[in-house]
Amino acid sequence: MPQYDYDLFVIGGGSGGVRAARVSAGLGKRVAIAEEYRYGGTCVIRGCVPKKLFVYASQFPEHFADAAGYGWTVPEASFDWPTLIANKDREIGRLSGLYQVGVENAGGTAFHSRATLVDAHTVLIESENRTVSAEHILIATGGRPNPHAALPGHEHCIFSNEAFDLPTLPKSIVIAGGGYIAVEFANIFHGLGVDTTLIYRGKEILQRFDMDLRRRLHEAMVAKGIRIQCHTIFERIERRGDGRLAATVMGGEVMLADQIMLAIGRIPNTENLGLEAAGVKTGVRGEIVVDAHSRTNVPNVFAIGDVTDRVQLTPVAIHEAMCFVETAFKGNPTVPDHDCIATAVFSQPEIGTVGLSEDDASKRFANLEIYSASFRPMRHTLSGRQERMLTKLVVDADTRRVVGAHVLGPDAGEMAQLLGIALKAGLSKDDFDRTMAVHPTAAEELVTMYKPSYLVKDGVRQA
Ligand code: NDP
C-alpha cells in the first residue's frame, strides 16, 4: 500500500504544469493535476496563442494595402470584432481540451478545482472539499498582470486578460508599459483601426533588447500612426460622465480614450495557496523561491514557470517541467538551462533575438565586431511600403563567436528560432560565413554580412 495517494500532485494546468503531469503520468507515475479555471493557462487561454491570432488579424489592413502593387484590387474591407473573438474562443477551447485530455490519456487525473496546500504532502481539492496526499508536489500556478494598485483609478483600466474579450473594439486606447505586452498590443489595436497611444516610463521601449532594434521599431510604429510617449507615467485615471476615460500623465497632460490598458509586468500567483502551511518560502515579489533544480526549501515541493519569476516565457516553463521530471522521477537531477534563450516580440515589424545585445556584450567582451544590415525586404518593393528590415550580429572578436543575433522585420521570430540553434551551439562568425545563402530570402543577410559595420573596443564604438 503506497504511503501517498499520488506520486505527484501538480497545482496549475498551464504549459509547465500540464507538461510535468503528462510526462510523469507517461512514466507510470500516479499523477493528479488541478486547474481552477481552464486547462492551458496563460499561454493558451489569455496569452501567446490568442495574442498571435490577434496579431494575424491586425496585419490584414497592411496586406490589403500592399496587394495593389502586385496588381490586386481589394474592395473596401470591413472588420468584425465579435467574429474574431468567437473564432479565437473556438480555437482556444479546442487547445484547452487537448491539454486536459493529454494528461488523462497518459493516465493522470485532471481536477477542475482550485487546489491549496494543507501541509507539505497534503492538498485540499476545494471543489470536492477533500484532501489528497502526494509524495511530490509541483506548483505551477503562473502569474497575472500587475494591477498597479498604487495608481488612482487603476480599477478603470484593462489588462491583457480583458483585452482578449472586450465586448466591443474601442475607438481609442492608451497603453502603459514598454515591454512585450504593451508593444504587441499597441500594434494589434492600431492594426485593427484603434487610435493608439503607448506611454512608457523609460527612455526607449523594450528595455532588454538591442538598442538598434528598439529605436527602429519605435520609428516604424510611429510611422504607422501609433503615438509613443517615453519618459512618462500615468498619475491618475478618471471615468468621465460620457463613459470615456481620462488619463492624466506626468506633467498634467490629459489623454482621453475609450480604454486604458496597463501592461507593466506580471506578478506570481502565490496568494492563498497554503504556502505558509506547507512552510514554502516566497521572495520579495511574492515568487516561490527555488534552487537550481526548481526545488523549494521544502524538499518534496517543487515550483516551475512564472510563479518562480525566473524567465516568464512558455518554452522556459516547459523546459523546467522536463527538467523537474528528470530530477524527481528519472534519477537524473537536471538543472534548467536559462542561457541564450531565443525570443520574439510580435510587434509590427516583428523582433527576433537571441543572445546578447550590443550594449550587454560590450560589458562582457573587450573587442566586438558588429555586423549590421538595413534593407527594404523584397516583399516591400512592389508594394511600395517603406518599412526597412534590420539584421545584426554581435561577434566576440577574440574568439570569433557570435554572441548576439538580432532581426527586425517580417518573420523575425521564425528566424530567431533557427539562430537560437546556431548561438546555442556556440558557432563562430566563420561558420556563418561558410553557410550558403538561401536566395532570395531576407534571412540570407545573416550569412552574407562579411565585413564588420564597426568595432567596439572596451565598450567604446570605434569610428
Ligand atoms: P515586461 O516585463 O516585458 O515589461 C513591463 C513593462 O512595464 C516595462 O516596460 C517596465 O518598464 C514597465 N513598468 C513596470 N512597472 C511600471 C510602473 N510601475 N509604471 C510604469 N511602467 C512600469 O512585462 P509585460 O507585462 O509586457 O509581459 C510580462 C511577461 O510576459 C514578459 O516579461 C514576457 O516574458 C512575457 N511575454 C512574452 C511574450 C513573447 O514571448 N512574445 C509576449 C507577452 C508577454 P521598465 O522597462 O522601465 O522596467
pLDDT tens track for 213-260: 999 999 999 999 999 999 999 999 999 999 999 999 999 999 999 999
Maximum Cα–Cα distance across the chain: 75
Residue 353 belongs to domain with CATH number: 3.30.390.30
Per-residue model confidence as pLDDT tens digits over 311-365: 999 999 999 999 999 999 999 999 999 999 999 999 999 999 999 999 999 999 9
State yes or no: pLDDT of 1 exceeds 90: no
Question: Is 213 within a domain?
Answer: yes
- 211, 269, 312, 351, best to mutate for ligand 1 pocket (most atoms within 8 Å of CB): 312
Question: Is 337 within a domain?
Answer: no
Q: Is 134 in the same domain as 27?
A: yes
The residue behind cell 503528462 is: 22
Per-residue model confidence as pLDDT tens digits over 256-297: 999 999 999 999 999 999 999 999 999 999 999 999 999 999
Q: Is 100 in the same domain as 14?
A: yes
Q: Tell me the CA–centroid distance for residue 394 and ligand 1, in Å.
A: 25
Per-residue model confidence as pLDDT tens digits over 366-412: 999 999 999 999 999 999 999 999 999 999 999 999 999 999 999 99
Confidence of residue 144 (pLDDT cuts 50, 70, 90): very high
Query: Residues 246, 256: contact at Cβ < 8 Å?
Result: yes
For the chain, what is the domain count? 3
Please state the atom number of ligand 1 nearest to the C-alpha of residue 344: 41
Percent above pLDDT 70 for the chain: 100
State yes or no: pLDDT of 159 exceeds 80: yes
Please name the residue whose Cα sits nearest to atom 38 of ligand 1.
180
Q: Which domain holds residue 67?
A: 6-145+267-329
Length of the chain: 463
206 lines ligand 1 (CB under 6 A): no
Residue 43 belongs to domain with CATH number: 3.50.50.60
Question: Is 336 within a domain?
Answer: no
202 lines ligand 1 (CB under 6 A): yes
Question: Is 335 within a domain?
Answer: no
State yes or no: pLDDT of 463 exceeds 90: no
Q: Is 351 in the same domain as 436?
A: yes
Per-residue model confidence as pLDDT tens digits over 108-142: 999 999 999 999 999 999 999 999 999 999 999 99
What is the rounded average pLDDT for all residues in the chain? 98
Any catalytic annotation for residue 380? no
Q: Is 90 in the same domain as 139?
A: yes
Q: Is 164 in the same domain as 240?
A: yes
Boundary (domain end) residue, out of 302, 329, 356 = 329
The residue behind cell 530567431 is: 416
Q: Are strands 122-125 and 130-139 parallel, antiparallel or unpaired?
A: antiparallel
What is the enclosing helix (H) or strand (E) of 102?
Answer: helix 81-105
Q: What is the pLDDT of residue 86?
A: 98
Q: Is 272 in the same domain as 132?
A: yes
Q: Tell me the CA–centroid distance for residue 53 and ligand 1, in Å.
A: 20
C-alpha cell at 318: 516547459
CA distance 102 to 95: 10
Q: What is the pLDDT of residue 459?
A: 96
- CA distances (Å), origin 79, targets 46, 259, 383: 22, 19, 22
Q: Is 324 in the same domain as 407?
A: no
Q: What is the pLDDT of residue 387?
A: 96
